[in-house]
Structures are given as C-alpha cells and as structure tokens.
Structure 1
Amino acid sequence: MNTTPNHTELLPVAAARGLLRDHAISPTEQRVEIARVMFARHQHLSAEQILAQLVRHDSRVSKATVYNTLNLFAEKGLVREVLIDPAKLFYDSNMNPHHHLFHTDTGELEDVDPARIDISDLPALPEGKVLEGVDVVIRVGRRRS
C-alpha cells in the first residue's frame, strides 16, 4: 500500500456515516468528510494530506478539526498512528497487523507483510504487562554515490 496524496476517490457518504456510527462516533458533517477521504481505501495519510484533499473537494474543515478527528479515530480504533519521526505522523486505515517501509527520499509509506519479518527473542515483559503489538518501520533512501 502506498501513500497517494493526490488520490481523489471518496468513500460514499452513507458508508462513512455507518462506519462512524459503528464505532460510537457522532457523524458530524466534518467527521463524515474526513472519513470519506481517510477510508476510501487502505492508505497512509498525514493530517496535511487529508486537509489538502478536503480543500480540493471544496470542504471548509479546519486544520484543527482534521487533527482532532484523526485523534478521535485513533482512540476509537479506526486508524493506527504510524510515527515515522517526531515531525512525521501518518494515519493508517489498514487495521490488520503489518509493518511499514518508509522511503525517506519520497515520503512514501508502504505496508510490509508481518510474515516477511522475523521478530524473536523479545525482552521479558514487566510484571502485569501483556504484549499489545510490535511495530517495525524500515527506513530506506536512495543510495548515495
């Protein structure tokens, strides 16, 4: 799966409203607009990329509303936050277990099948804790001469 910020496909309004209701989120007009972009397909988008797509569709959703809504979607389990570095956060609509390959030169983020990465010999967990998951981000860039 690639990040494609110029993609114009949108989830139908009724599907977006249903998805939000299924996750106990009130389907306000702004949340529905954001959901239509985010859940049109499995993709990785930053808040800025979502805002840019909304602007292209003549939406008047504010930047703060986009951030607040994405945080709500993450809280409710609709998206995963993928932190590439402190300045780059993507929201991933694919909730199935997987890892990521990040292209540092293009900013593209791809899914990596977890079966392709062997993670073994994890440290002992602190008492009373359970493993919730392991997220691997592999960073790649162009070979320098």
Structure 2
Amino acid sequence: MHLTASDTGTERGATWLKAGGLRPTRQRLALAALLVGDGQNRHVTAESLYALSSSAGEKVSLATVYNTLRAFCDAGLMNEVVVDGSKSYFDTRTDDHPHFYWEDSHRLTDASAEELEIASLPQAPEGMAISRVDVVIRLRKA
C-alpha cells in the first residue's frame, strides 16, 4: 500500500495526538495534520489556522480552532507565545527557544538560542514556581 502525502500527514497528526494523550476526533486530526503533518514546526494564530483549515476544505469553526489549540497546549503538544499582551501565537516546537517577532508582517519565527544568555531570573513569589521563560525579540526595519 502506498501512502499519499495526505495519509502521511494524517498519520503524523494521529501520532502527535497520541503523544499528548488526546482522543483523535475528526476535527483534532484535521488540525493536527495541518500543524505537524509535514514534519515542520509551525507558529500559528487561531485565525491563521482557521483560514488554513478552511482553504483545505475542513469544516471547523473558529471557536473549535481556539478550543483545540488550548487543548493541544494543555496536553504539552504546543506552547502559547503571547505578543503585546493580546496576540497569541501557538508554537509546535516545545523546547526552550527564543522568538523573533516581525513587527511589519506580524510573524513569529524561531530565533537561535546559541547567543542568548539569561544570567539570572527574579525569585518567584512565595508559593509559585517559574514554569517557563518566553523571550520575544521584536524586529523592525532599521
């Protein structure tokens, strides 16, 4: 049996969902295939994933896309990166790494962590633990 690119993407999506302990509903499978089906990491907004799913012929509401992205984050499959306190990007790459935010095109891309040095962090308030540090480097034309 020969797998098509679509079959491979669906298979990768199903494996990804299983790794997060999520039930592979039709909508989750469709969105997972769009996010990780080609093996590349993605930075998406709910709106951009909704547009991508619509252009792929998937019948998924924007509310479902939001809820599914939250479920993917809760399962540890993605990280949410908030820019400007209101714009959320969802990243399929979950290791610690910084990001570039391109102000002119409103894109988020990975930045190299090799030159990034964080010497120390403030102590967390009593009863709290630092879960993650997001570094977003904003870029604009010089």
Letter in structure 2 aligned against 1:36: A
Match of 2:27 in 1: 30
User: After superposition, what is the alpha-carbon deviation per residue over 1:64-119, rounded to whole angstroms, capped at 9, x for unaligned?
Assistant: 11000000000000000010123311100011110111010111212122232111
Unpaired stretches in structure 2, ≥5 consecutive residues: none
| Residue 69 (structure 1) aligned with residue 37 (structure 2) | no
Unpaired stretches in structure 1, ≥5 consecutive residues: 1-8
User: After superposition, what is the alpha-carbon deviation per residue over 1:8-66, rounded to whole angstroms, capped at 9, x for unaligned?
Assistant: x8662122112212211110100101111111310101111111111111111111110
Match of 2:118 in 1: 119
Letter in structure 1 aligned against 2:95: N
Aligned pairs, number:
135
| SS state at 1:114 partner | coil
Report 1:36-55 matches (<5 A): 36-40=33-37, 41-55=40-54
d(CA) in 2 for partners of 1:25, 1:14 = 14
Match of 1:95 in 2: 94
| Residue 139 (structure 1) aligned with residue 142 (structure 2) | no
d(CA) in 2 for partners of 1:120, 1:20 = 36
How many Å apart are 1:128 and its aligned residue? 4.6
Q: TM-score, normalised by structure 1?
A: 0.84
Structure of higher RCO (CA pairs closer than 8 Å, 6+ residues apart): 1
Q: Is the 8 A contact 2:9 2:36 kept in 1?
A: no
Match of 2:84 in 1: 85
How many Å apart are 1:127 and its aligned residue? 4.0
| SS state at 1:83 partner | strand
Match of 1:15 in 2: 12
Q: Which moved more, 1:125-134 or 1:106-115?
A: 125-134
| Residue 58 (structure 1) aligned with residue 57 (structure 2) | yes
Q: TM-score, normalised by structure 2?
A: 0.86
Q: Which moved more, 1:121-130 or 1:12-21?
A: 121-130
d(CA) in 2 for partners of 1:22, 1:39 = 13
Letter in structure 2 aligned against 1:98: H
Q: Which moved more, 1:24-33 or 1:131-140?
A: 131-140
Letter in structure 2 aligned against 1:24: G
